[in-house]
Amino acid sequence: MSLVVYNTLSREKELFVPIDAGHVRLYVCGPTVYDYVHIGNARPVVAFDVLYRLLKRRYRQVTYVRNITDIDDRIMVRAADNRETIDALTNRTASAYQSDMGRLGALTPDFEPRATQYVGEMVAMIGRLVDKGHAYVAEGHVLFSVPSMADYGRLSRRTRDELVAGARVEVTPYKKDPADFVLWKPSTDQQPGWPSPWGRGRPGWHIECSAMSAKHLGETFDIHAGGLDLIFPHHENEIAQSRSAFGHALMAKYWMHNGFLNISGEKMSKSLGNFFTVHELLEQYPGEAIRLLLLSAHYRQPLDFTHEGLVQAKATLDRWYGALRGRDATPAASVPQAVEEALSDDLNTPLAISAVHQLGDPAALRAGGNALGLLQQDAEAWFRWMPAGAGGPTDAEIEAAIAARQAARKARDFRESDRIRDDLKAKGVLLEDGAKGTTWKRG
Ligand code: AMP
Ligand code: ZN
């Protein structure tokens, strides 16, 4: 089955043909780690995790890189506010990110490079750009010279005026052209910095992804993805740097961008303050329900976040896991055709989800769910989930009560066995007696 993806570069759906069919290479821009990420930041992670899973089904070797930006002015400010070191802050928030994304069912990428470990590669790349006349040094900064690249702006399709306006020009007298952007900037003694031919300093954001993607995926690779807001300037500038440094016509063959997760019609963002962190949502909802909500709209469409949406997603999963309860847990060998077809059409997850709804057979349901990164846990485990701080009996206390009820029934003390059942029910735990014994769920 062929895969079609929407390529931002051409603004069209295109047949996916890898550069090297023996090795497909994918890069997704990851977060800047200074705090917990919000659920909007999880949208690219989950959407492109579905892509990664699909590519792994089709190709022998797939390398997926998702970076972590651990050097940034926001990180420096936050570390100072928190009175902790930059390392302590970025280590803590990067591990929280990795664990939260894991709880959303995202597979671990093959590489998760942290920017600070690639400064040598960035310095080398900047040196190359200077040597080739694509960058210049001014007042301790190194800037990319936008006029040095004939087709700068090809991805975002911005006019020269829009480019200049969008470059968010600060008062920077050292820029030769207002659209030029920073590759390297000087650091004071108090700021983190690395030695370079241009003095002690630190890299700009865009050069990080150019250097890390080249290191792990090569100078040209298949797919580069991220949120819509990264098209300009971040991806435009990554392209400018990589193509100018390496001299290729393409940095990545396909550019894929997810739409925004909104809240009341507005983009969820840290700066607007209208956000929910994945970390806090995971205390109230199972990660799988959050994942299903994120996949309920096509990745390029806007998606409105609501708590009702999460409640509905959980109810859908209750239904699916209900159908899997007590049935064979082995997934079918291949993903059901209708699910695979939907995903092969530019990751049409809402269509794939409706196809999963049609599946009656547990093995097919498991396999269809797996393609979406859903329905992978034991059905009993799903029904045991409870929100953080909900109180109520623990799993062990429930198991002990069920054993006591069994003993009462064996002794034909039905008053006692009913009392135990009713007591659990009052605490939100429902018992179901079946051929294989008693199962339970939190209702
Ligand atoms: P940032 O840390 O802001 O660079 O964001 C990390 C990733 O999340 C990038 O791919 C962004 O495009 C994406 N992103 C940020 N906000 C949203 C949102 N509200 N909806 C969808 N994606 C977003
Ligand atoms: Zn990037």
pLDDT digits (tens, 9 = 90+) for 29-70: 999 999 999 999 999 999 999 999 999 999 999 999 999 999
What gap in Å lies between CA 345 and CA 338, rounded to an integer? Answer: 11
Q: Residue 145, SS3?
A: coil
Q: Is the dihedral of CA 389, 390, 392, 396 positive or negative?
A: negative
Tell which CATH classification among 1.20.120, 1.25.40, 1.10.3470, 3.40.50 matches the domain 286-383.
1.20.120
CATH number given to 4-9+24-261: 3.40.50.620
pLDDT of residue 169: 56
Tokens (6 digits) for 28:
């997704």
Topology match between the domains 4-9+24-261 and 286-383 = no
Residue 167 pLDDT more than 80? Answer: no
Ligand nearest to the CA of 209: 2
- Residue 217 backbone dihedrals phi, psi, to 5 degrees: -120, -10
pLDDT of residue 168: 62
Q: Hey, which of 26, 27, 33, 43 would you mutate to test ligand 1's pocket, going by the most ligand atoms within 8 Å of its Cβ?
A: 43
Task: Tell me the pLDDT of the chain averaged across its residues.
Answer: 95
Distance 168 CA to ligand 2 centre (A): 18
Distance 278 CA to ligand 2 centre (A): 21
Give the closest residue to 185 by CA, choosing from 68, 29, 71: 71
Measured from CB, residues less than 6 Å from any atom of ligand 1 are 29, 31-32, 40-41, 43-44, 226-227, 229-230, 258, 260-261, 267-269
Distance 208 CA to ligand 2 centre (A): 7
Domain boundaries, the chain: 4-9+24-261, 286-383, 395-442
User: Which residues are within 5 Å of ligand 2 (an ion), measured at CB?
Assistant: 29, 209
Alpha helix ranges (H) inside 59-175: 73-82, 86-103, 119-131, 160-166
Residue 375 pLDDT more than 70? Answer: yes
Atom of ligand 1 minimally distant from the CA of 267: 19
SS3 content of the chain, % helix, strand, coil (to 5): 45, 15, 35
Task: Name, in order, each residue with C-beta under 8 angstroms of 129's C-beta and a sequence gap of 6 or more.
Answer: 135, 142, 144, 183, 241, 244, 245
Distance 183 CA to ligand 2 centre (A): 14
pLDDT of residue 84: 96
Atom of ligand 1 minimally distant from the CA of 30: 6
Model's pTM, two decimal places? 0.94
Residue nearest to atom 21 of ligand 1 (CA): 260
Ligand nearest to the CA of 230: 1
Tokens (6 digits) for 219:
């100078």
Residue 172 pLDDT more than 80? Answer: no
Q: Scanning the structure block, which residue is given the tokens 């029934």?
A: 409
Residue 353 pLDDT more than 80? Answer: yes
Distance 226 CA to ligand 1 centre (A): 7
Task: Name, in order, each residue with C-beta under 8 angstroms of 266's C-beta and a sequence gap of 6 or more.
Answer: 272, 274
Tokens (6 digits) for 175:
């820029």
